[in-house]
Amino acid sequence: MLKKITSLQNPLIKNVFLLQEKSKERKKQGRFVVEGSREIALSLKAGYQIETLFVPEQQNLSRNELCADEIVEVPNSVFEKMAIRGLSAQYVAVVKYFSQNIDDFLPIYNEGTILIVDGAEKPGNLGAILRTADGLGAMAVFCSATDTDKYNPNIVRSSLGACFTVPFYFASNEEILQWLTAHQFTIYATFMDTAVFCNEVKFEEKSAIVLGSEANGVSEFWKDKACENVLIPMSGSVDSLNLSVSAAILLYEVVIRQQKAKKYT
């Protein structure tokens, strides 16, 4: 039997808003919010535990989506305030998370590409990059430590759940470099200085592409760490692209060139 809540003032409902808004609260409680049936299903597949599943009134539940400690039915008017996408989200879940450290990540294959996002400011961009990483088969996405946390609802939502399918870690630049060195990845940065067009570069089988923030670009830390600087050819008057668009172009270029190298060797 479903538990029913009708008031926005109920502590369970108020806690959903708190987790959506406060990174400090997510870390304190070890919980975060996921909305959408696809995203919730992917979180379950990745081994996360759903503590509370909120459903709008008269919503049908499939067997897979019953894997929750508690299921709560709320009026449509309440659900629409809980979910950014309103009733189209279908479900909102409070999910327990587990700590993940970059040192725990071990590559399954001896080849592939890692995207490094150096100081990204916008969670929505990180989510879009994760979608691209999933679609083009990136090995992982590493983010240098910022105020954004891995379970920011904008990352979860804009990634469409790819944050659960792509290995995704926050770490310091020093920790990221140490990991790349230990696993023998070749580093490519996106500085403008002495850069080579990305379509002219022969990327190594184990490549790491460093992308900077839209405001500040790649930090000085990576300047002498890369074997080469790569540049996206552009013909317009605007000299920069959205970070997620740049990530998609560069990752596609690396994947295509790696595939061609395999074909002709």
Q: In the chain, where does the domain assigned CATH 3.40.1280.10 lie? A: 102-263
Give the pLDDT confidence score for residue 224 in this predicted structure: 86
The per-residue b/e assignment along 161-194, b for 16 or more CB within 10 angstroms, e otherwise, is bbbbbbbbbbbebebbbebbeeeebebbbbbeee
Fold of the CATH domain 3-96: 60s Ribosomal Protein L30; Chain: A; (3.30.1330)
Does residue 62 or residue 257 have the better pLDDT?
257
Q: What is the pLDDT of residues 44-59, one digit of tens each?
A: 999 999 999 999 987 7
Q: What is the pLDDT of residues 116-150, one digit of tens each?
A: 999 877 888 899 999 999 999 899 999 987 777 88
Lowest average pLDDT, out of 44-53, 88-97, 250-259, goes to 250-259
Give the pLDDT confidence score for residue 173 in this predicted structure: 93
Give the pLDDT confidence score for residue 258 in this predicted structure: 67
What mean pLDDT comes out for the span 1-26? 91
Q: What is the pLDDT of residues 184-238, one digit of tens each?
A: 999 998 877 777 777 877 888 899 999 887 667 788 898 888 888 787 777 765 6
**For residue 265, is pLDDT > 50?**
no
**For residue 262, is pLDDT > 60?**
no
Give the pLDDT confidence score for residue 264 in this predicted structure: 45
Does residue 183 or residue 236 have the better pLDDT?
183
Name the CATH superfamily housing domain 102-263: SPOUT methyltransferase, trefoil knot domain (3.40.1280.10)
**For residue 61, is pLDDT > 90?**
no
- Alpha-carbon Rg for the chain, nearest whole angstrom, is 20
The full length of the chain comes to: 265
Q: In the predicted model, what is the mean pLDDT of the chain?
A: 86
Give the pLDDT confidence score for residue 62 in this predicted structure: 60
Q: What is the pLDDT of residues 71-86, one digit of tens each?
A: 999 999 999 999 988 8
Q: In the chain, where does the domain assigned CATH 3.30.1330.30 lie? A: 3-96
Give the pLDDT confidence score for residue 1 in this predicted structure: 55
